[in-house]
């Protein structure tokens, strides 16, 4: 019974750590996406500004 419980506990720990790893991967992807968007924002703002005021 105790052996079974230990196996179950290990499985839970493994699945939790896998979930955490997945979350970290998603977070890294999201943060890189956010930084790309933020680096593009000034260019977009400049384009919109020129289209509005110079044409």
pLDDT (tens digit per residue) in 7-53: 777 888 888 889 888 888 888 887 888 888 889 999 989 998 988 88
The 8-class DSSP code of residue 1 comes to -
Q: How many domains does the chain have?
A: 1
Domain that holds residue 21: 1-54
Tokens of 50: 């020129």
Q: Is 46 exposed, middle or buried (0-12, 13-18, 19+ CB in 10 A)?
A: exposed
Q: Is the pLDDT of residue 2 over 80?
A: no
């Amino acid at each position: 019974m105790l052996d079974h419980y230990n196996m179950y506990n290990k499985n839970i720990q493994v699945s939790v750590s896998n979930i955490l790893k997945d979350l970290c991967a998603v977070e890294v992807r999201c943060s890189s996406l956010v930084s790309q968007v933020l680096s593009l924002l000034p260019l977009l703002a400049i384009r919109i500004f020129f289209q509005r005021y110079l044409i």
